[in-house]
Amino acid sequence: MKAQKHELPGSVGFLHSSQALFGVSLEVHDGEVVTLLGRNGMGKSTTIKSIMGLVRVSQGRITFNGVEIQSLPSYQVARLGIGLVPEGRQIFPNLTVLENIMLGAAHRGGRDEPYTLDEVLDIFPRLGERLKNYGNQLSGGEQQMLAVVRALMTTPKLLILDEATEGLAPLVRKEIWYGLGVLKTRGQSILVIDKNLGALMKLADRHYIMEKGEVVWTGSTDEIAANENLKARYLGV
């Protein structure tokens, strides 16, 4: 498969907001896990919303597999092969776990080899025990797993996770990180926002750090691990 490039040069602005992104440029290649790091309010989620067509792009361009997508509505972006696990889970509480999962399968696009139900439940076996439960009967961590699995069933070429482990119990976070590691071994491209730097450094190939709407640093896991000043200045660790 030809290397994918997801690029956001120029500025991207919120509708009805004073926040903006300035000169943000990033790439995610096939089979690569990339992180978007930074303190709260620095533009990470805005970047994700811009990629997904949820925020209007005023300048610059966003390309996915050679196609400019900055003017497309979010459902068309998803059909091209970008799957989003949004902050806040956003599952359907009055549908069963199985029904939630199969909703993802009804909107497939992207990968040539779709994920099957058995495959995703093998990665997240806890959900296999809950297929008949309704979404509102799940714990917060199980709901987050369900959001990940539903996104996978759309067979995305690029999977984006926005604070997927925020506020979850340590055991559940561990299961989600394990699942993402399995997906990486299967060649899934992933762009992830999360505050758990330790887990991200074990999983990711490259990292971008954002500060006040700009990318201020990019590099490998080895580079960020060796730079204590960088982590203290921009990440507070």
The full DSSP string for 181-198 is: HHHHHTT-EEEEE-S-HH
C-beta atoms surrounding 75 within 10 Å: 10
Secondary structure of 35-53 in the HEC alphabet? EEECCCCCCHHHHHHHHCC
CA distance 192 to 26: 13
Of 22, 72, 25, 84, nearest in space to 211 by CA: 22
Q: Which domains does the chain have, with CATH numbers?
A: 11-234 (3.40.50.300)
Specify the DSSP element, H or E, that contains 34.
strand 33-37
CA distance 38 to 150: 27
Of 51, 131, 127, 109, nearest in space to 84 by CA: 51
| Sequential pLDDT tens for the chain (237 residues) | 333 444 433 332 223 333 466 778 888 998 999 999 999 888 898 899 889 988 877 777 888 888 888 889 998 998 889 999 988 778 999 999 999 999 888 666 666 678 999 999 999 999 999 999 999 999 999 999 999 999 999 999 999 999 989 888 899 999 999 999 999 999 999 999 999 999 999 999 999 999 988 899 999 999 999 999 999 999 987
What pLDDT shows up at residue 180?
96
pTM of this prediction?
Answer: 0.87
- Alpha helices per DSSP H over the chain: 44-51, 74-80, 97-105, 117-123, 125-128, 140-152, 170-185, 197-203, 221-226, 228-234
What pLDDT shows up at residue 111?
66
Of 52, 13, 64, 7, nearest in space to 151 by CA: 52
Q: Strand, helix or coil at 95?
A: coil
Contact between residue 235 and residue 38 where contact means Cβ atoms under 8 Å apart: yes
The region that residue 10 occupies, defined by phi over 0 for left and psi between -120 and 50 for alpha, beta otherwise, is left
CA distance 82 to 122: 22
Pairing state between β 20-22 and 11-13: antiparallel
38 by Cβ neighbours in 10 Å (0-12 / 13-18 / 19+) ranks as buried
- Alpha helices per DSSP H over 153-216: 170-185, 197-203
The half-sphere exposure of 237 on its side-chain side, counting CA atoms within 13 A, is 13
